[in-house]
Amino acid sequence: MAKMEDVFSISSFDPAKFADSFRDFAEKGSQQSREAYAKMKAAGEEAGKTLETTVQTAQAGAAEIGHQAIGALRTNAENSLSHMDALLSVKSVAEFFELQTSFLRKQAELTIEQAKAMQETSKKVAENVAKPSKEAAEKVMASFKAA
C-alpha cells in the first residue's frame, strides 16, 4: 500500500524542475515568435516593394500604350484630311471611285499595322507588369523548398 501512496504523493513533484521546464518552453516560444515576426515583416516589406514596382511598371505601360494610341489617331486624322483635300479636286466619278478605293485599302492596311503594334505593346506591358510578381512568387516557392 505504501507504493500506491508514493505514486499519488505530492512530495514527488519538484517545483524547480517544473519552473526550469516552463522557462525553457517560454524562451523557445518567445524565440520562435520573434523569428516568425521577423520573417513576416521581411515578407511584408518585400510584398510592398513588389507592389510598388508593379504599379510603376503598369503606369509606364499605360502611358506607352496611350502615346501609341494618340499617334495612331493623329496619323488617321492626317490621312483623312489629306483624302478630303484630294476629293475636293476630283474631276470625274471614275477618279472619285479610284481615289476612294485607294484610300480605303491604305486605311485598312494601316489599321491592321496599328492593331498589331498595339497588341505587341500590350503584350510587352503585360509581361513587364507580371514580372515582379512572378519573381516574388518564385522566390517564395524557393524558400519553401529550402525549408
pLDDT in tens, 53-111: 888 988 999 999 999 999 999 999 999 999 999 999 999 999 999 999 999 999 999 99
Give me the residue spans of the domains in the chain.
66-142
Question: Using CA atoms, how far apart are residues 58 and 80, in angstroms rounded to an integer?
Answer: 33
pLDDT in tens, 96-135: 999 999 999 999 999 999 999 999 999 999 999 888 888 8
CA dihedral 39, 43, 45, 49 (to 10 degrees): 150
In this prediction the pTM is: 0.65
Among the residues of the chain, which ranges form H helices? 2-7, 15-88, 93-146
CA separation, residue 91 to residues 67, 87, 98, 101, 128 (Å):
39, 9, 12, 16, 53
